[in-house]
Protein backbone atom coordinates (compact mmCIF):
# COMPACT_ATOMS: atom_id res chain seq x y z
CA UNK A 1 0.00 0.00 0.00
CA UNK A 2 1.08 3.54 -0.58
CA UNK A 3 1.13 6.59 1.61
CA UNK A 4 -1.41 9.37 1.21
CA UNK A 5 0.52 11.93 -0.86
CA UNK A 6 -1.16 14.98 0.71
CA UNK A 7 -0.91 13.97 4.38
CA UNK A 8 2.00 11.53 4.35
CA UNK A 9 -0.12 9.11 6.39
CA UNK A 10 0.50 5.44 5.70
CA UNK A 11 -2.51 3.49 4.45
CA UNK A 12 -1.21 0.12 5.67
CA UNK A 13 -2.79 -0.49 9.11
CA UNK A 14 0.34 -2.29 10.36
CA UNK A 15 2.52 0.67 9.38
CA UNK A 16 0.05 3.10 10.98
CA UNK A 17 0.12 1.08 14.20
CA UNK A 18 3.95 1.02 14.28
CA UNK A 19 4.09 4.77 13.57
CA UNK A 20 1.58 5.48 16.34
CA UNK A 21 3.46 3.38 18.90
CA UNK A 22 6.75 5.05 17.93
CA UNK A 23 5.15 8.50 18.23
CA UNK A 24 3.84 7.65 21.68
CA UNK A 25 7.14 6.08 22.80
CA UNK A 26 9.06 9.23 21.85
CA UNK A 27 6.58 11.42 23.74
CA UNK A 28 6.85 9.32 26.90
CA UNK A 29 10.67 9.08 26.71
CA UNK A 30 11.05 12.84 26.30
CA UNK A 31 8.66 13.61 29.14
CA UNK A 32 6.03 15.25 26.92
CA UNK A 33 3.31 12.88 28.10
CA UNK A 34 2.61 10.04 30.51
CA UNK A 35 2.15 6.41 29.68
CA UNK A 36 -1.47 5.81 28.62
CA UNK A 37 -3.77 5.18 31.58
CA UNK A 38 -7.44 4.42 32.00
CA UNK A 39 -8.86 7.64 33.47
CA UNK A 40 -11.99 5.75 34.52
CA UNK A 41 -10.23 3.03 36.50
CA UNK A 42 -6.76 4.43 37.26
CA UNK A 43 -7.31 8.17 37.29
CA UNK A 44 -5.00 10.64 35.60
CA UNK A 45 -1.39 10.79 36.75
CA UNK A 46 -0.49 13.90 38.75
CA UNK A 47 2.75 15.60 39.69
CA UNK A 48 3.73 16.13 43.31
CA UNK A 49 3.02 19.85 42.85
CA UNK A 50 -0.53 19.06 41.66
CA UNK A 51 -1.11 16.75 44.63
CA UNK A 52 0.10 19.49 46.95
CA UNK A 53 -2.20 22.03 45.27
CA UNK A 54 -5.17 19.72 45.95
CA UNK A 55 -4.05 19.34 49.57
CA UNK A 56 -3.79 23.13 49.86
CA UNK A 57 -7.38 23.55 48.69
CA UNK A 58 -6.67 24.59 45.13
CA UNK A 59 -8.45 23.10 42.13
CA UNK A 60 -5.69 22.56 39.52
CA UNK A 61 -6.70 21.75 35.95
CA UNK A 62 -5.80 18.26 34.77
CA UNK A 63 -5.31 18.48 31.01
CA UNK A 64 -5.89 15.28 29.09
CA UNK A 65 -5.61 14.08 25.50
CA UNK A 66 -7.46 10.97 24.36
CA UNK A 67 -5.41 8.63 22.17
CA UNK A 68 -7.14 7.13 19.13
CA UNK A 69 -5.73 4.70 16.61
CA UNK A 70 -7.13 6.82 13.78
CA UNK A 71 -9.25 4.11 12.20
CA UNK A 72 -12.60 5.38 11.02
CA UNK A 73 -14.39 2.50 12.73
CA UNK A 74 -12.34 2.68 15.95
CA UNK A 75 -14.81 3.55 18.69
CA UNK A 76 -12.55 2.63 21.59
CA UNK A 77 -9.33 4.42 22.53
CA UNK A 78 -5.95 2.74 22.54
CA UNK A 79 -5.65 -0.18 24.94
CA UNK A 80 -2.79 0.84 27.22
CA UNK A 81 -2.23 -2.78 28.24
CA UNK A 82 -1.47 -3.89 24.68
CA UNK A 83 2.23 -4.37 23.98
Q: What value does the CA radius of gyration of the chain take, rounded to a whole number of Å?
A: 17
Beta-bridged to residue 3, according to DSSP, are 10
What is the per-residue pLDDT across 14-37, written as a single tens digit (0 to 9) for each? 888 899 889 999 999 999 988 888
Angstrom distance (rounded) from CA 27 to CA 19: 12
| pLDDT classification of 62: cutoffs 50, 70, 90 | confident
CA distance 69 to 17: 7
Mean pLDDT value across the chain:
79
**65 or 46: whose pLDDT is higher?**
46
Handedness of CA 48, 53, 56, 60 (dihedral sign): negative
Q: pTM, whole model, 2 decimals?
A: 0.59
Distance CA 53, CA 56 (A): 5
Q: Is the dihedral of CA 23, 24, 30, 32 positive or negative?
A: positive
Statement: residue 77 has pLDDT above 60: no
pLDDT at 83: 47
pLDDT at position 1 is: 45
Amino acid sequence: MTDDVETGVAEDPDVREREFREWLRVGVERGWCSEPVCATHDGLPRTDAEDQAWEDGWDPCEHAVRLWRGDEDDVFPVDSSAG
